[in-house]
Amino acid sequence: MSTATGTQPTPAAETPKHDEGVTSAKAFYDSLASKKRPKLPKPQNAVTIAVSSRVLFNMSEDRKMYEEEGVEKYVQHQQTHEEEPLKTGPAFPFVKAVEEVNKQLRALYPDSEELFDIVLMTNNHAQVGVRLINSINHYDLNIERFCMTGGKSPIGYLKAYLTNLYLSADSEKVQEAIAEGIAAATMFIAKKDLVLSEKQLRVAFDGDAVLFSDESEQIVKEKGLDSFFEHEKKFENKPLAQGPLKCFLESLGKLQRKFHAKGARLNCPIRTYLVTARSAASSGARALKTLRSWGLEVDEALFLAGAPKGPILEKIKPHLFFDDQMFHIEGAQELGTIAAHVPYGVGQKYHKSTLKEAEKK
């Protein structure tokens, strides 16, 4: 086929010419091939993380338009600006770190499908999808699975996508997910920027009502600290029941062991932390023995005996910190930690008003 000016195409035998930065046709096509997206794992083999559009991207102004001007104006705005990438949100560094782990796993295990898989799970309308796709491509994210539910709650789809963790800006949807037995948390934007590792995914967990059940917190609230310490000493060798995030730590541990098997324990690109208000001498043993009984471990365990968690987290610089107490979330936010609230256990009735206020900020 000739061009619009009538110029004949380059004969097949001739070598195409390219920019000076590409010295040969082979180098040119190699550069294109290098941009090919990696093959996605089968869902049954993957660690699937569902993220909402409002945590992957910063859509606070868009959300305000939706609430004040309605869905039609919102959809029209997204279509008008669909070539303009959305700004990054609190889950973005976590997703980028996850993709780095996948890159290193593929290098060690080229045929393995035990990888992270990110799903965009949103109640946005399909008409907004083009802007979301363009934004994902702009940031070169490997996200191919989408669920856009057109204003309906996406929670019913989480199990169908075999979700291991759900991250959202909507606390009510997170509560729905946890009620369905799915690990979930409400994400918040940090109030200052920290430089996070680009080569190592770091995830920090609170203990009670996050990794473990809230049975010990119930004793504290009902009978006080002295009774709590007595209880933990008495039942030191009885494992705590599991909490809502235990299964996600289990998923992280499964991928960590793949690196350990290749002699990469010390420079593993996944690092986990237990950051708990428990005191080591009085109640720490039961927490560690519980993890051991589950066949799980954390890389670092920090027992703070009631001290603020923010300064410790500022040193750790996790991509994500999970806690069930809003005052710990807020303290972490103030010092730059990306935090996620787990609505579980006896304290949640008290936290609901605080949580709603935090969502508005």
* pLDDT per residue of the chain (361 residues) written in tens, 0 to 9: 434 444 444 444 444 444 444 444 444 344 444 457 788 899 999 999 999 999 999 988 888 888 889 889 999 999 999 999 999 999 999 999 999 999 999 999 999 999 999 999 999 989 899 999 999 999 999 999 999 998 899 999 999 999 999 999 999 999 999 999 999 999 998 888 889 999 999 999 999 999 999 988 888 788 877 788 888 888 889 999 999 999 999 999 999 999 999 999 999 999 999 999 999 988 899 999 999 999 999 999 999 999 999 999 999 999 999 999 999 999 999 999 999 999 997 656 545 555 555 555 5
CATH 3.40.50.1000 range(s) for the chain read 47-188
Instruction: Specify the pTM.
Output: 0.85
Q: Which of 206, 208, 323, 324 is catalytic?
A: 206
SS (H, E, C) the chain: CCCCCCCCCCCCCCCCCCCCCCCCHHHHHHHHHCCCCCCCCCCCCCEEEEECHHHHEECHHHHHHHHHHCHHHHHHHHHHCCCCCCEECCCHHHHHHHHHHHHHHHHHCCCCCCCEEEEEEECCCHHHHHHHHHHHHHCCCCCCEEEECCCCCCHHHHCCCCEEEEEECCHHHHHHHHHCCCCEEEEECCCCCCCCCCCCEEEEECCECCCECCHHHHHHHHHCHHHHHHHHHHCCCCCCCECCCHHHHHHHHHHHHHHHCCCCCCCCCEEEEEEECCCHHHHHHHHHHHHHHCCCCCCEEEECCCCCCHHHHHHHCCCEEEECCHHHHHHHHHCCCCEEECCCCCCHHHHHHHHHHHHHC
User: So what CATH class is 47-188?
Assistant: alpha beta
The predicted structure's pLDDT at residue 360:
57
| CATH no. of 201-360 | 3.40.50
- Told to judge if 206 belongs to the known catalytic residues of this protein, a careful annotator would answer yes
pLDDT at 54: 94
pLDDT of residue 24: 43
